[in-house]
Structure 1
């Protein structure tokens, strides 16, 4: 009875998704010693592309879309691909918890991007949430900016910005009735092609797959797939605001993995910054949902 309730609970599946995203980050960090960022993104997205094809082709689901819709798909896919590249790069250079938290600034950026796109000034509480959230960003980036990790820190922050643009396009695709599987298909296709071209253009030889590193690729692909499926089920089973608020558990799991596996020891200000960013991200998501019903005028 308890298991039946759990498997139909949105919060439960979001916890599973967050744990799986944290595990994916572990495999990305482990793989960064053997593979380039482009190679990791390529293998990660190729697995998703093949998986979607195995679902769509036997069911004869249509993959073609009209040109206006394709433009939105391309906007989502390109921004998502670049965000993923920067995110994986940040994971390879920064403590896992720091890289994950910087990527999870996307709700803060999303509110800023939405304001610019819809030309609608946010509520005072939204402005305060954004300001306090970016105070947390400054606190979190201070150790990186004072050392030799400043570039990775800034690129990790840019991954959050690009993720917010991708989410804007995902929202637009959902508004137009596009199914989630087709959105994932185009994202996986564009990202696989983009990472594949990047791999071929980068200097040096490509890493060879063998038994010593194949488990990393498999672990990354499996954990990412479980995370995506669990997150989708979480949003279908539970209230969106509750589920979205739990998304920051990925930061908690990543922090624990960083301490246990790599002995990460961050200054107290970094932990305070993570808490501040997570809290402001949750508030931003809730206030953004509350203001969604207000009339909006696209640019």
Structure 2
């Protein structure tokens, strides 16, 4: 999950760099299409079967994930960046609320372990708020509500990822169907919205966006398939730390004392969550 967090932060840097030229629908499409091409080449080269006995579950995961992505991009377009990201990162909290009913196949947590993990998730989210310092104005309530729904949708998507792993679905197959649905849906969205003519100079950025997103999805899927769901979810906050550090290095963004304190909270509660079994 830490590798996924780093990968998503790098992906975010490519999105930030490409936002001046490409619309959100185009960035979603290229992120998905490059990932789909990459996974397809690897699968065909290794001769692995794409057919799945859990097609309906794969479609539900892809549909929920894409819907959450759409809501997140809407929030990004209509809210301050910090606010949109904070609302999306409520997903671990919703996972904690949903897991007792939706993750029956996972070993049960003791009351002490669940309380410990819930506190870690809450502490990590407070750290995210300190780093991003979100704010919503009265005319942004709709966008704020949709941003919150993106967090709920992301939590449901991660539940599906865990359930697919329990059923024995390999990581690459889950990522393949997710990128397939996202490529088709975002491609249609892009055609209706706007299409920017491509230049050779755009290829490094778009390839970097697709590769970082795909590797992050593979790492995230493996983490949820093999790890304890709430522990993995709390470590997802590491994306905020990595993204903040990338902003400092590349764009010379200054960090305040409150932001540094928030990053330390994210790191601390992430480490504590990983020790929950003890």
TM-score under structure 2 normalisation? 0.74
2:20 is aligned to: 33
Out of 21, 31, 34, the position equivalent to 2:8 is 21
Give the equivalent residue in structure 1 for 2:153.
162
2:238–2:266 CA contact under 8 A, matched in 1: no
Q: Distance in 1 between matches of 2:180 and 2:200?
A: 27
Does structure 1 residue 79 correspond to structure 2 residue 64? yes
What is the alpha-carbon root mean square deviation over aligned residues? Answer: 4.0
Separation (CA, whole Å) in 2 of partners of 1:148 and 1:30: 28
| Aligned position for 2:238 | 249
Aligned CA distance change for structure 1 residues 174 and 19 (closer, same or farther; 3 Å): closer
Equivalence for 2:190: 199
Give the corresponding residue for 1:216: 205
Q: Is the 8 A contact 1:107 1:284 kept in 2?
A: no
Distance of aligned partners of 1:52 and 1:158 in 2 relative to their CA distance in 1, 3 Å threshold = same
Give, in whole Å, the separation in 2 of the partners of 1:285 and 1:103.
22
Q: How does 1:53-202 map to 2 (within 5 A)?
A: 53-66=40-53, 69-88=54-73, 94-95=80-81, 100=85, 102-117=87-102, 123-129=114-120, 132=123, 143-146=134-137, 155-202=146-193
- Residue 280 and residue 106 in structure 1: after superposition, are their counterparts in 2 closer, same or farther (change >3 A)? farther
Offset at 1:224?
2.6
Gaps of 5+ in 2: none
Give the distance between the partners of 1:248 and 1:178, measured in 2 at CA. 26
Residue 190 of structure 1 deviates from its aligned partner by 0.7
**Offset at 1:147?**
8.6
Structure 1's unaligned 5+ residue stretches are 1-13, 291-299
Deviations 1:235-278 (A, max 9, x none): 59xx947x947654332221122234445457655555555566
Q: CA separation in 1, counterparts of 2:134 and 2:223?
A: 36
> What is the CA-CA distance between 1:47 and the residue it aligns to?
1.2
Once the two structures are superposed, residues 30-79 of structure 1 have per-residue CA deviations (whole angstroms, 9 ceiling, x without a partner) of 2122212121111111111112221223444332234xx22211121112
Structure 2 CA distance for partners of 1:269 and 1:148, relative to 1, 3 Å: farther
> Quick one: structure 1 residues 246 and 268, their matched pair in 2 at CA, closer, same or farther if it must change by over 3 Å?
same
| Range with bigger deviation, 129-138 or 177-186 | 129-138
- Is 1:129–1:280's contact at 8 Å kept on the other side of the alignment? yes
